[in-house]
Amino acid sequence: MPLPSFPSTYSSVISVASHDVRDADVYYCNPRPPVELGALGIDVRVPWLNGEWITATGNSFATPHITGLVARLPAKHPGLSVVHVKGILRALADNVVDAPG
């Protein structure tokens, strides 16, 4: 949807939208919230009913890519807050340029 929707507007969640880059490991930081991150979710091959597969599009297909990253952070570094996790994800996004130095 082109409009902000719930729950993506809550600060306690990590909001994810779809992009079409064919690399499942690539994710982007959105500099213009409320959507914070983008991951592969356009034309994704997904399991379907009766053992079939379909090609589908949606933010719901992008979210698992970010969820996997989020799950690994507190597993390795217990005690991280949502703010810390969001900061780490932003810093590691593929479209963030390293500071000169």
- Average pLDDT, integer, range 83-101: 83
Count of domains in the chain?
1
Q: Is residue 44 part of a domain?
A: yes
**Residues 87, 91: Cα–Cα separation, whole Å:** 6
Q: What's this model's pTM, rounded to 2 decimal places? A: 0.81
Q: Is residue 6 part of a domain?
A: no
Is the model more confident about 49 or about 82? 49
Q: Is residue 53 part of a domain?
A: yes
**pLDDT tens for residues 52-62?**
999 999 988 99
Q: Is residue 9 part of a domain?
A: no
Instruction: Determine the structural domain holding residue 60 and report its residue range.
Output: 16-92
- High-pLDDT (> 70) share of the chain, %: 92
Is the pLDDT at 85 greater than 90, yes or no?
yes
Banded pLDDT at 18 (limits 50, 70, 90): very high
By CB neighbour count within 10 A (0-12 exposed, 13-18 middle, 19+ buried), where does 97 fall? exposed
Q: Is residue 54 part of a domain?
A: yes
Amino acid in the structure at residue 55: T
Q: Is residue 20 part of a domain?
A: yes
- Average pLDDT, integer, range 63-76: 92
Q: Is residue 98 part of a domain?
A: no
Peptide bond into 64 cis (omega under 30): no
Q: Is residue 97 part of a domain?
A: no
Residue with tokens 């590691």: 92
